[in-house]
Amino acid sequence: MRKLIEFIRSTYVAVLFVLLELIALNYYAHSTAYTEARLVARSNQVVGGLQHAVSEVRLFFGLGRRNQALTARIAELEELIAHYEEAATEKRLKATNKSLGASKWRMMAAAVVSNTVGKQHNYIVLNRGRMDNVYGGMAVTTPEGAIAGYVIDCTERYAVAVSILNTAFRASGSIEGSNYYGSIHWEGRSSRFVTLSELPKYANPTPGQRVVTTGFEPYFPQGMLIGTVEEARLDEVGTSYTVKVRLAADLQSMSDLVLIDNLDQLELEDLSRSEAIRELEF
């Protein structure tokens, strides 16, 4: 008996070590992008306040640059409005306008609380949460309209988005003006490039062409800018291209972002879960 106690005393640290390592490993093995985002969201409730203060200081020094960007954007939009006003005088457009109905997209501005680019799984924390009607699945874009990620989880006052610089990020993208599409993902290397793979050979991408969203995912509207083609490589079999895409969004210095809400999303989700479709699957 005494020998047993002696044995336990001499090895309990090692046993405890192995046990703790197993628990950590088990937790890691069962983690997903969602559980990671949940961790970020929870810890943000604790450090969020201070994080926010820090980002506020950073924001202050960027005010001049942001003002310029805003002015440029206003000018751009005014030009668009002028264009529409001109067209609106024509009766023909008045008739089509009526049938368009309300837009299904709702936009909302949000400020970045914290954002990483150095890890393999990067997340963006935004200062909008459930209180502002933010929910998982909303698109996150830069004010210029380039995609940056999508919201995966929120707390009352904050939202966590999967950055496009997250190896778990998936979306589909196509060359602007063509119907061929491939899948967009990040290789975990440079924060300026993502990869568009499995693009059919007929798409024939050339450097400089714009890569846009396809609208297949409910959260990204169709035709949102992802980036431009940097270089394209045909695979060995010669059936599809792997395209290196230069991101339009500068993920390293983001201060304001736009959240896009698809008002039809819940309805679409309901539809995809409908009885008729489920019956078909069985």
Partner 1 sequence: MHRTAPYILLIVLALLQIFLFNNLAISTYFSPLVYLIFLVMLPLETSGIAMLALGLITGMMMDYTMGTAGINTFSTLFVAFFRRNLISLFANREDLRDEGIPSPARMGVLLFWSYAIAMVLLHHTIFFVMESLSWAHFGRTLLRILLSSAGTLCALYLTEQLFTPKLSKHA
Q: Whose Cβ is closer to partner 1: residue 43's or residue 68's?
A: 43
* Least distance between partner 1 and beta carbon 75 (Å): 29
Helix, strand, coil content of the chain in percent (nearest 5):
40, 30, 30
Identify the three-state secondary structure at position 103.
coil
* Least distance between partner 1 and beta carbon 110 (Å): 17
Task: Please tell me the distance from the alpha carbon of residue 273 to that of residue 280, in angstroms, as a whole number.
Answer: 11
Task: Please tell me the distance from the alpha carbon of residue 109 to that of residue 29, in angstroms, as a whole number.
Answer: 36
Q: Whose Cβ is closer to partner 1: residue 176's or residue 256's?
A: 256
Q: Whose Cβ is closer to partner 1: residue 51's or residue 204's?
A: 51
Are β-strands 193-200 and 181-185 bridged in parallel, bridged antiparallel, or unpaired?
antiparallel
**Binding site residues, partner 1, CB under 8 A:** 12-14, 16-17, 20-21, 24-28, 30-31, 35-37, 39-40, 42-43, 47, 50-51, 54, 114-121, 123, 187-191, 251-253
* Least distance between partner 1 and beta carbon 161 (Å): 12
Task: Please tell me the distance from the alpha carbon of residue 44 to that of residue 127, in angstroms, as a whole number.
Answer: 10
* Least distance between partner 1 and beta carbon 179 (Å): 32
Q: Whose Cβ is closer to partner 1: residue 40's or residue 184's?
A: 40
Q: Whose Cβ is closer to partner 1: residue 38's or residue 201's?
A: 38
* Least distance between partner 1 and beta carbon 24 (Å): 4
Task: Please tell me the distance from the alpha carbon of residue 146 to that of residue 48, in angstroms, as a whole number.
Answer: 26
What b-and-e string marks burial along 216-227, b requiring 16 or more CB atoms within 10 Å of the CB? ebbbbbeebbbb
* Least distance between partner 1 and beta carbon 129 (Å): 17
Q: Whose Cβ is closer to partner 1: residue 190's or residue 274's?
A: 190
Task: Please tell me the distance from the alpha carbon of residue 242 to that of residue 204, in angstroms, as a whole number.
Answer: 11
Task: Please tell me the distance from the alpha carbon of residue 35 to that of residue 51, in angstroms, as a whole number.
Answer: 21
